[in-house]
A and B are shown apart, each in its own frame.
Chain A
Amino acid sequence: MLKLLIRGKFHFFIGALLLLLSFDSLAYTQSRVVKGPDGKPVKIEGSVVMIEPEIQLYEAMASGILEPRQEWSKTAQKLYPEMVAASLKQGGVSLKPEFEVRDDLDPNSRIGQIIRLNKAVSFSIRRFTLSNTSLATKKGKQLDWSLGPGVQELQKVTGADYALFTMIEDSYSSKGLAALRIIGALWLGGDIGGGAQVGITTLVDLRTGQVVWFNYIYNQTGDLRDEEGAKATAKKLLKGFPL
């Protein structure tokens, strides 16, 4: 869409499409939780360790290109866990120190594979618990996935009962895109969006491997580059956390 505008090929139908957009119309959350035998969402009992989140921040250029930004990512990598820790502590959760995922972690170690398996499980949950899709094998169960007993390695190393895995990608307007946004808002009556924030998180029971809670967020207003933004993102991504 943006590319067409840049090349000056303006078509009326694009304008119509853009009019349909409003600031938060593309915000979306997909929180899923395991239900207990009483049919009610489980509440966690025990301590939680935050696995070092994978956060990548980009600058969204008007040409449509996403360029990774070092300073932003470094800031977010520090701020986001702090905000999560504050939020969880406020909810009365007992927290263990963040588990650092080292660059030289052997990918074939148990923990190396568990971290990679979590990605596969996260994408599967995201794909198959959308409101209009589910797996025929999971009918009637809101959340039915596991990382398996290998998670006990993590339990040993962290001493925690649950692990919180997080992946976030976020992009922000460049100057040029910001200019285009203003024009878009004035002329077309709608926001064309400045970039998107996508986050995915799982809470895993380290005694059994069961994924007890999952959340996926998508929005266009998140900003992980400062404290306030990180706090807001943490709030969004932790919404539905089974306290």
Chain B
Amino acid sequence: MKTATTMASLLMALCLFAGDSHAEQGQADDIGPIPPGYRPASNTDESELWYIEAKQEVELKQSPRLIRDPELNAYVRRVTCKVTGDYCKDLRIYILDVPYFNAMMTPSGIMVIWSGALLRIQNEAELALIIGHEFGHFKNRHSLQQFRKIKKSGAFLNTFGVLTYGTGADLVANLIGIASLQKFSRDHEREADKTGFSTVVNNGYDPRVGALLWDRMLQEEKAADYGKPLPVFASHPKSQERRDDLQAAAAAIDNPSSQRDAEAYRHETEKFQQQWLEGELSRRMYQSSIVVMTELLSVSPAEHKGLYTFFLAEAHRRKNKEGDRAKADELYAQATQLPDAPSGAWREYGLALKSANNKPAALAALNRYLALDPKADDRLFIEQYLKELQVAP
């Protein structure tokens, strides 16, 4: 019967494209670590993957989110080279202005780190750990295995093209695409964590930072205890396990170094703090922001306490639930007494005083705000408030 014949042919065709690719596909077990200077053989799926990345790299270079500051880039490169040694010359580094915690190193050696990560990292040792972890994935070609899995699953188009982040759709939806690229197996994550950890130890950093970093990320995750967890770096079901593993590994080291190079890290990232803190607030995830800002405030140097106090206050004010207004007002008042408080601290302090009907103090604070920030965008409204405050009772 014609139908039977053609059905059989169809079934045969189904088998024909099981391993469908004009490029040779290697077997999963032939993926070993790569040496420095590695290039894949042409006409392999690996070489095609490198090509896809090369195209994305052009977009990365032109991304509106790219942070081009030469000093910051030089610093991150310095730490990357410390961590990756002979591989460093193969790596290209891109820092993107994205207010979420994430870092990745692609199979062809593109390292992308987001400003949300740089905000949360507190010292050079933690930066080395993160880079070392990603380097572990890169060196052992975990991503290639990931790529092959994704190819099979048909989710290909959703995941590649996400390096540049932000395709105009809801940004959180983008995170799902990125996360699937980074959905490594448990074994791979363990392997990468080991690489990250030994990187830290071999370079003389404090081996305890890993557990501390993951613990902080765990606290941040817990704060967002509603809906679905964010599908990126930290929001890993295994955060707790990784923290515990890193803690155990650190405990096994006799006479651990206490070198974290917090000052060097702070110095290199100082001029971006306000921008990155504003970016954090723009996520409108205030419960998480409060955890992040509280932590940052607790470790901040004296000369910047005003800045971090102000931003913690901002997170409370914007969250605007029971008790937040009072907490915010308390913090704004504190901020005005601390070094490096942004001019906004006086605005908020002044408006709080105005609400409490303390007119002279409110006038003084709001005038101080306008004096500190003559180009304030809300000047017209503040001047209106000043007029109201000057009207005799």
Contacts and interface: CB of A to CB of B under 8 A. Distances in A.
Chains A and B share a contact (CB less than 8 Å): yes
Contacts of B20: 61-63, 174-177
- Say whether chain B's binding surface is mostly helix, strand, loop, or mixed: helix
Contacts of B156: 65-67
A204 to B, nearest CB: 21
Contact of A107 (B6, B51, B64, B151): B64
A183 B17 contact: no
Contacts of B52: 67-68
Contact of A67 (B48, B54, B58): B48
Nearest to A172: B22
Interface string B19-33: 011100000000000
Contacts of B48: 67-70
A56 B108 CA distance: 20
Among A3, A68, A104, A180, max chain B CB count under 10 A is at A68
Given A65-B151, A67-B48, A70-B48, A179 B16 contact: yes
Contacts of A179: 13, 16-17
Contact of B16 (A8, A59, A64, A175): A175
B17 A175 contact: yes
A63 B17 contact: yes
B55 interface: yes
B19 to A, nearest CB: 9
A68 B55 contact: yes
A183 B7 CA distance: 9
Sorted from nearest, which 7 A-B pairs have the closest CB atoms? A176-B17, A70-B51, A62-B17, A176-B20, A187-B6, A107-B62, A179-B13
30 contacts: A3-B154, A5-B10, A6-B17, A61-B20, A63-B17, A64-B154, A65-B157, A67-B48, A67-B52, A68-B48, A68-B52, A69-B22, A69-B48, A70-B47, A103-B61, A107-B64, A112-B62, A174-B21, A174-B22, A175-B16, A175-B22, A176-B17, A176-B20, A177-B20, A179-B17, A183-B9, A183-B13, A186-B9, A187-B6, A187-B10
